[in-house]
Amino acid sequence: MRPADSRWIILPLALVILSLGIWIYWPGIASPWMLDDRSNLAVVGHLGEGFGGAADYVFGNRSGPLGRPVSMASFVLEELYLDAGVSGSKRVNIVLHAVNGALVMWLLSLLLAHARVPRHRWFALLGGAAWLLAPLYVSTVLYVVQRMAMLSTLFMLLSCIVYCYWRSRLFRGVAGWGLFGALLCSVAAAVLSKENGVLVVPVLVLLEVLWFGARDSAGTRNPLLRRVSLSLLSAGAVVALLLFALFFDRIKAGYARRGFDLDERVMTQARALWDYLAQLVWPDLPRMGLFHDDYPVSTSLQAPPETAYAVAAWLLLIPLGLLLLRSRPGQLLVCAVLIFLVGHAIESSVFALELYFEHRNYFPGVGVFLLLVTALGLLSRRWPPLAAPLLAWLAVYVLVLAVQTGSQVQLWSSAPLLRLNYVNHHPESFRANEEMALHLAAVGALDSALDYSRRAAQLSATERVGDWQIRDLALHCLAGRDIPPARFAELATVNAQRPFAVVSTFNGFTKVLQSGRCSPTDTAAFADRMAEVFLAQEDAATASANFYSILAGLANSLEQYARAHAYMQKFLALSPGSVRGLLMQLHFSTALGLEQERQNLMAQLGELEAAGKLDAGERQTLALYR
């Protein structure tokens, strides 16, 4: 081993690079809550004392089918022991990103060593540094709720690293049950952090089949491991196709509330994946950020024209990949590409998710930088004199990424600058215009805020006129201005039978009302108008259950218990088994002296409690009425 390749030089340099990454990201702790941060995490701030309340938050999240308890546990522990607000959450994310950067360096070193890349530790160090300092990840690291993606990636990386050591022991004739148990725990933790973590299983199979080739570092092949890994690869492909066929109708049904269909999404993702690759390797900073709801939908192969080129390029990669598989170096390159694609198999495939989000590249990007350093390492192995200049240029590339990431973090460190940047570079984004409207209202520029609100309404594919009207009411209050009476009179007059569609906008305005940002007169006027709309004896408007729950909460805060009771009746008609709804109605019936209804609700809730359907907080609330 060359002295320059010694780990005693690499380790201090790795610590310097990781510290540099933390230093570059640190100004970003001043950035605000973003998008899902509010709905997913703000509630954690209301944690009560005791494990019961904490357990409710850990196991009660509904962000995904499994609840993501590992990620939620991190937020709960942070609230209990750090309690530093949004800046504290971002500090945790920054440190977690550095830890993941170290794991990427470690994994790349193990993989490149097996591939017999010269100076593999140096290539791994710089490849991991490129991943750590990629500007595309700023919107992941400083978007607090994306800790879910970061924790999932952490355990996916740990799974890959543990697998490398476990298979090494296997080749030495040692079962390695401890490492195998650690591997299973890492995979489980990845899945319970975010459901994407399950993709580490096909990644491990790909590593065994293509990267390791069922061989140890000396080239000795294990035939049994070869057969098992190939069988798992084939079985996994068959299972994926069967699941797609089995759930095809459900997948298609998910597009009912999207502005695109399954075919359009698949064509759009062909473009998006190439765009992700370009943004990882050679970033276009002005287009980066959190808001990409303006990403163009591919309605055909010619609209936009780039769609045909993107699809053709992916199709051409198939014969090229088959050709590369005939050689050992080619297998390594194909493996890296497939890690990127498999990492996108859930969020960038057939499911009815939004079209474009940068955080989807957090784990798949490992495959991109593995491809980069593998290609450079193979060149160095073929022509050894190239190793030093390639490493030097790779170091320059990392420095360029560091500077670019620093500029992005500076944008995120200023909420006004961040919003201005978004609306300038994404003028067709509904979210960018809405955020700008809210910001301008908060600084008193109501007229400009209303202009951006109007623009947002024009761009939205889901808003109704009523949602736009509700947002404008909120803007008046945020700007410290009284709401003109005419605004209440015209509210919910368009699409009168079902005037509202966006729960988040409606809920946001009621929170503004309850916080005292609106005058008592305006709050009362809104409550009266909603009663006219939804509680009319004839031709009352309708809404989804959540709207009634929100209105019941508002009426309760105004001590209008009869209205609250009426709203909750409508809510329970749509969600009859809701424990939260039953508890709220118990409160209202008690306040109104409806003793018979109160007894019926107590009996119903008692049955649910006996069946274990109430969490700790709900049991405590029920006990107050006994």
Instruction: Give me the average pLDDT of each 10-residue run along the chain (626 residues).
Output: 64 96 95 67 51 64 78 85 82 97 98 94 97 97 94 98 95 89 97 96 97 89 92 94 94 91 97 98 93 94 96 97 96 98 96 95 98 97 94 97 97 89 93 94 96 96 94 96 95 94 94 94 96 91 95 96 96 93 95 94 92 86 89
Whether 456 is in a domain gets the answer: no
| φ and ψ of 215, to 5 deg | -120, 155
Q: pTM for this structure?
A: 0.91
The 3-state secondary structure of 367-427, one letter per residue: HHHHHHHHHHHHHHHHCHHHHHHHHHHHHHHHHHHHHHHHHHHHHHCCHHHHHHHHHHHCC
| Total number of domains constituting the chain | 1
Contact (Cβ atoms closer than 8 angstroms) between residue 621 and residue 53: no
Query: Which amino acid would we find at residue 294?
Result: D
List of residues 6+ apart from 419 with CB closer than 8 A? 432, 435, 436, 439
521 in any annotated domain: no
What 218-226 contacts at long range (C-beta under 8 Å, 24+ apart), as own/partner pairs, is 220/171, 222/170, 222/171, 225/167, 225/170
Per-residue confidence (pLDDT) for residue 1, from 0 to 100: 46
Nearest to 341 by CA among 369, 361, 312: 361
Q: Is residue 461 part of a domain?
A: no
Gyration radius of the chain's alpha carbons? 27
What's CA 97's distance to the chain center, in Å?
15
The predicted structure's pLDDT at residue 34? 74
Q: Which amino acid is at 80?
A: L
C-alpha closest to that of 66 among 254, 183, 188, 194: 194
Q: How far is CA 388 from CA 8, 123, 295, in A?
A: 19, 11, 41
The answer to whether residue 436 is domain-embedded is no
At residue 326, the pLDDT reads 95
Please say whether the beta carbons of 180 and 316 come within 8 A: no
Within a domain: residue 312? yes
pLDDT at position 49 is 46
Q: Is residue 568 part of a domain?
A: no
Going by C-alpha positions, the residue among 551, 458, 541 that lies closest to residue 506 is: 551
**2 Cβ contact partners less than 8 Å away, ≥ 6 residues apart:** 119
DSSP structural state of residue 482 = P
Distance CA 530, CA 543 (A): 12
Rounded Cα–Cα distance for residues 350 and 396 (Å): 38
Q: Identify whether 292 is part of a domain.
A: yes
Residue 377 domain boundaries: 16-253+264-358+368-412
